[in-house]
C-alpha cells in the first residue's frame, strides 16, 4: 500500500482486533472492536462498532452504533453490568460467555451502504449492498439490497432503483474494481445514464 492508501485515523480512535482496508478513514473518537472494514469505507466520528464485517465504500455518519451492547433483561435478576464486567467492581472475573453471545450475533454490512447520523444497527443484522439507513433509525431486522429504511424500529420506505437495475448493478460488482479503474471511470460515476450505458 502507498502512504496515500493507508487508513487515515482520527484523534482518540481505539482499534481492538480490527482490520482496515485501503483508503479507509476513521473520524475522531471511533471505537472498533473486532471489525473488518473494507476499502474506501469511512466513519464520520464518535462511532462505536463491535463484531462486524463492513463492505467497501460504506459511509457511516457520526454517532452511529453497530452491534451495541445489550443488558441481560430477561436472563438475570440484575441487568447491571457488574454481573458480566465483574472485574471493574472488584467482584471477580468477567463473564466471557456474555460477550461471546454478541460475537455470535455478528453484523454484516454490504458494499456502498449509507448509514445516517445516530442510527443503531442491532446484533445479528445483515444489510444488503447499496442500502440506505435513515438518520436515528434503529435497525432490528435484515435490510434488502438497495432498500431505504427509516424509523424505530426501521421499516422499508422505498428502494433506490428498480429490480432490473439492481440486478445489473449487482452483476457489475463495481466495488471490486481496482483503484486505477475507479480513477479512469470517475466521470462515469458522476453521470448515471452514462454509467448504465457503458458498464451495466
Whether 3 shows a pLDDT value over 80: the answer reads no
Whether 64 shows a pLDDT value over 70: the answer reads yes
Tell me, what's the pLDDT at 1? 60
The alpha carbon of residue 145 and the mean position of all alpha carbons in its chain are separated, in whole angstroms, by 14
Would the pTM of this model clear 0.95, i.e. be above it?
no
Mean pLDDT over 166-177 rounds to 97
Find the length of the chain.
200
Mean pLDDT over 27-41 rounds to 98
Q: Across all residues in the chain, what is the average pLDDT?
A: 95
- Cα angle: 73, vertex 74, 76; to 5 degrees: 85
Q: Confirm whether 71 is a catalytic residue.
A: no
pLDDT tens-digit profile of 149-160? 999 999 999 999
Looking at 46, 71, 80, 81, which residue is catalytic? 81
Residue 53 phi, psi (nearest 5): -115, 125
Tell me, what's the pLDDT at 97? 86
Domains and CATH numbers, the chain: 8-67+105-160 (2.160.10.10), 162-200 (no CATH)
CA dihedral 2, 59, 51, 148 (to 10 degrees): -150
Helical (H) or strand (E) element with 31: strand 31-37
Whether 135 shows a pLDDT value over 80: the answer reads yes
Whether 2 shows a pLDDT value over 70: the answer reads no
CB 102 within 8 A of CB 70: yes
Mean pLDDT over 82-92 rounds to 92
Question: In terms of Cα–Cα distance, which of 131, 148, 120, 125 is closest to 63?
Answer: 120
Q: Which of 89-98, 126-135, 178-187 has the lowest mean pLDDT?
A: 89-98
Residue 156 phi, psi (nearest 5): -65, 135
Tell me, what's the pLDDT at 74? 85
Amino acid at each position: 500500500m502507498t502512504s496515500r492508501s493507508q487508513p487515515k485515523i482520527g484523534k482518540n480512535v481505539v482499534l481492538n482486533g480490527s482490520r482496515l482496508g485501503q483508503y479507509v478513514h476513521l473520524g475522531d473518537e471511533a471505537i472498533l472492536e473486532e471489525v473488518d472494514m473494507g476499502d474506501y469505507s469511512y466513519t464520520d466520528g464518535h462511532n462505536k462498532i463491535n463484531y462486524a464485517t463492513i463492505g467497501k465504500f460504506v459511509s457511516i455518519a457520526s454517532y452511529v452504533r453497530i452491534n451495541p451492547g445489550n443488558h441481560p433483561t430477561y436472563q438475570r435478576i440484575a441487568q447491571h453490568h457488574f454481573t458480566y464486567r465483574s472485574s471493574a467492581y472488584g467482584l471477580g472475573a468477567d463473564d466471557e460467555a456474555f460477550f461471546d453471545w454478541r460475537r455470535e450475533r455478528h453484523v454484516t454490512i454490504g458494499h456502498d451502504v449509507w448509514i445516517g447520523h445516530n442510527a443503531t444497527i442491532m446484533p445479528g443484522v445483515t444489510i444488503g449492498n447499496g442500502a440506505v439507513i435513515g438518520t436515528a433509525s434503529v435497525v432490528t431486522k435484515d435490510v434488502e439490497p438497495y432498500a431505504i429504511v427509516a424509523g424505530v424500529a426501521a421499516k422499508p420506505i422505498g428502494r433506490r432503483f428498480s429490480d432490473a437495475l439492481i440486478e445489473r448493478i449487482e452483476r457489475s460488482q463495481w466495488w471490486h474494481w481496482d483503484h486505477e479503474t475507479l480513477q479512469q471511470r470517475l466521470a462515469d460515476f458522476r453521470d448515471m445514464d452514462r454509467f448504465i450505458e457503458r458498464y451495466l
